[in-house]
Amino acid sequence: MNITSLKAVLAAAGFLLSGAALAAATLVQDVRVFDGKSAHARRSVLFEDGVVVDADFRGPVPAGARMVDGAGRSLLPGLIDAHTHAFRDQELPLMFGVTTQVDMFTGVPLMQEMQAAMKAGKNKTRADMFSAGTLVTAPGGHGTQFGMAIPTLTRAEDAQAFVDARIAEGSDFIKIVMEAGGHGMRKLDTLDLPTVKAVIAAAHRRGKLAVVHVSTEQDARAVLEAGADGLVHLFPGAAVPQARADSLAALAREKGAFVIPTFTVLESVAGTHEDDLLRHPQLASLLDGEAQGQLKARYGATARPALLEAPRMVTAALRRAGVPVLAGSDAGNPGTQYGVSLHRELAALVEAGLSPLDALASATSVPAKAFKLGQRGCIAKGCKADLLLVEGDPTRDIMATRRIVEVWKDGESVNPMREARRRQVAQAAAGKSGGKPLALPADGRISQFSEAKLGSPFGSGWMPTVDAIAGGRSTTTLAAQPALGDGQVPLAISGTISPDLPYAWAGAAFMPGERPMQAADLSAARLVRFKVRGDGGSYRAMMMSQGVPMPGYAFFTAGPEWTEVSIPFSAFRGVDPARATMIGFAAGPKAGPYRFEIADVRLLER
């Protein structure tokens, strides 16, 4: 839901109250308070005009103040997600009590617009954002694969000019990428260590923090030695010797660095991310089908839980060493969603060895201090009145953060927005349930290939799909072949996968909508079945649905003889068949030539 439509809903519901009414004092009475560092069993908190007036109020109720019952509840500072990519949906975090996002890479115009709104005090319906703007990466490196042109860095001697250009654009801090690929991702071009050192020094000369994206222990140690202020990821991997985990934590402590583990996205990479957030009715009711699809998606096609052992060990070691650990979800990636994923991150941090109190600090006072965010992440006189009220005691049970009673942004209740969104999600779901799935052919066949046409019984048909839209240079050729004995015409798919992108692809795609990438309801089917043969390589069946930027994948092998393959839609994690936009068959990301044939492609109920 964008801001314009949300305001329209609020206005229709009579929720756009006058500034004077919204700015009235609020007193939360007899509530358990976590002030960002410590817990207090019973206090009353008074806030007005966007700030906390008294965090332990004991006087008579101010005239005209709104009173909120805090019995059995806990009042927390508004949560801070210390690692997001806030390209869209800036109001969504507020629905889940996340009032500030630390953005690691977004569009410069959006960053500048958000900064102007915050400065003018006109950002009450969105989470505040502090941003790195454009990250620092190598040509063809991580961060260049999203189909938008960004400046890149090649030489250490250009580091100062590059950093100065980012600061001129408005970057609040400098984010550096040191990523060579791995764990199923093809090798990437990356900045070398001398260049990273030069960027860190350039940022520090201008009084800016320099934080680094790493994915290996070796790089983590190298950038800490180079003076990085923080690691914005931990690295996936199997268990490491305890002494190594402890020594890495000791190095971070010695260098005064902080660490953002980002378990939520690591779980997506490991293919182990559960849908526990969506099993919580109160949370799920705020997420429409598009938002839920992004949360259900995964980077990892198969579960590899061992990849989480190293980051858990290191996180526990960091806690023992007293290194600041920050909660960040990496929202914007498959398997994550703005706002709601921070609640999973808090639980994951507790599972990794933090106490619930530590985890709450990691999403409030600790990131506020690390990123120098001013008077937020706290409940004390003069602190920003971004607040979260929950049922229960999250200082003992971290799951209590999910039982949200009320959210305040700049001292104003977000609950009218939350209720308006909940109604809109319910209405959209009711409209969807009232529709009918697309009628499929009796035999389910969607491939009607011939030399004249790559036809289909519905939709906009079959067409090539290549990674050029993301800046790649892979190629594909589609060619009908002589008919098989059953009369079916195979489609040969051949070409070359270019080494330019870590997620390179090329192949053929069926578009079920009336226009390419228009959604169609394919929920009458439960699986896709097809025949395949080829060069013996491993290939991917893909499916996409509306609103989810990454397709779901399932692998198959194209051997020398025709083989029938059946793939259930459930294998395409995070994809909603009722909003399907594409079904594809593709090579990649392994670079080099490829050739395979498909025939008799059907969508079937069983």
Summarised one tens digit per residue, pLDDT across range 417-433 is 999 999 999 988 877 65
What pLDDT sits at residue 296? 84
Question: Can you name the residues that pair with 448 across neighbouring β-strands?
Answer: 455
- 202, 346: one domain: yes
C-alpha distance from residue 525 to each of 297, 469, 515, 558, 570 (Å): 20, 29, 20, 24, 11
Q: Does residue 54 sit within a domain?
A: no
Integer Cα distance of 510 and 464 in angstroms: 9
Same domain, 484 and 341: no
* Lowest mean pLDDT, pick from 103-107, 422-426, 571-575, 579-583: 571-575
Q: Which residues contact 471 (CB under 8 A, 6 or more apart)?
A: 144, 145, 147, 500, 501
456 and 586: one domain?
A: yes
Do 185 and 292 lie in one domain? The reply is yes
- Of the candidate ranges 1-5, 103-107, 497-501, 537-541, the one whose mean pLDDT is the lowest: 1-5
Number of domains in the chain: 2
Where does a domain end: 334, 361, 376? 376
Q: In Å, how far are 223, 245, 248, 350 from 253, measured between CA atoms?
A: 14, 13, 9, 20
| pLDDT tens profile 553-568 | 899 999 999 999 999 9
pLDDT at 521: 92
3-61 pLDDT, tens digit per residue, is 334 344 334 333 333 333 345 799 999 999 999 999 999 999 999 999 999 999 999 99
Of 361, 376, 391, the domain-final residue: 376
Are 263 and 308 within 8 A, CB to CB?
yes
Is residue 72 a part of any domain in this protein? no
Instruction: Answer yes or no: do 549 and 465 share one domain.
Output: yes
Q: Determine, yes or no, domain membership for 222.
A: yes
On whether residue 438 sits in a domain, the answer given is no
Does 291 lie in the same domain as 168? yes
pLDDT of residue 1: 36
Give the lowest-confidence range in 13-17, 301-305, 312-316, 493-497.
13-17
Q: What is the pLDDT of residue 7?
A: 41
Residues 351 and 481 in one domain: no
Q: Please tell me whether residues 104 and 199 are part of one structural domain.
A: yes
Residue 242 exposed, middle or buried by CB count within 10 Å (0-12, 13-18, 19+): exposed
Q: Which of 314, 341, 376 is the last residue of a domain?
A: 376
Where residue 153 sits, what CATH number does that domain have? 3.20.20.140
One domain, residues 368 and 455 = no
Examine residue 37 and state whether it is found in any structural domain, yes or no: no
Same domain, yes or no: 370 and 452: no
Could you tell me which of 159, 155, 102, 161 has the C-alpha nearest to residue 133? 102
> Is position 19 within any domain?
no
Query: Of all residues in the chain, what percent carry a pLDDT higher than 70?
Result: 93
Q: Which residues pair with 528 in a beta bridge?
A: 567, 603
Is 400 a domain residue? Answer: no
Q: Domain check: are 452 and 371 in the same one?
A: no
Q: Output the domain CATH number for residue 487.
A: 2.60.120.430
Quick one: 95 and 215 in the same domain? yes
Q: Please check whether residue 430 lies inside any domain of the structure.
A: no
- Give residue 216's domain range: 79-376
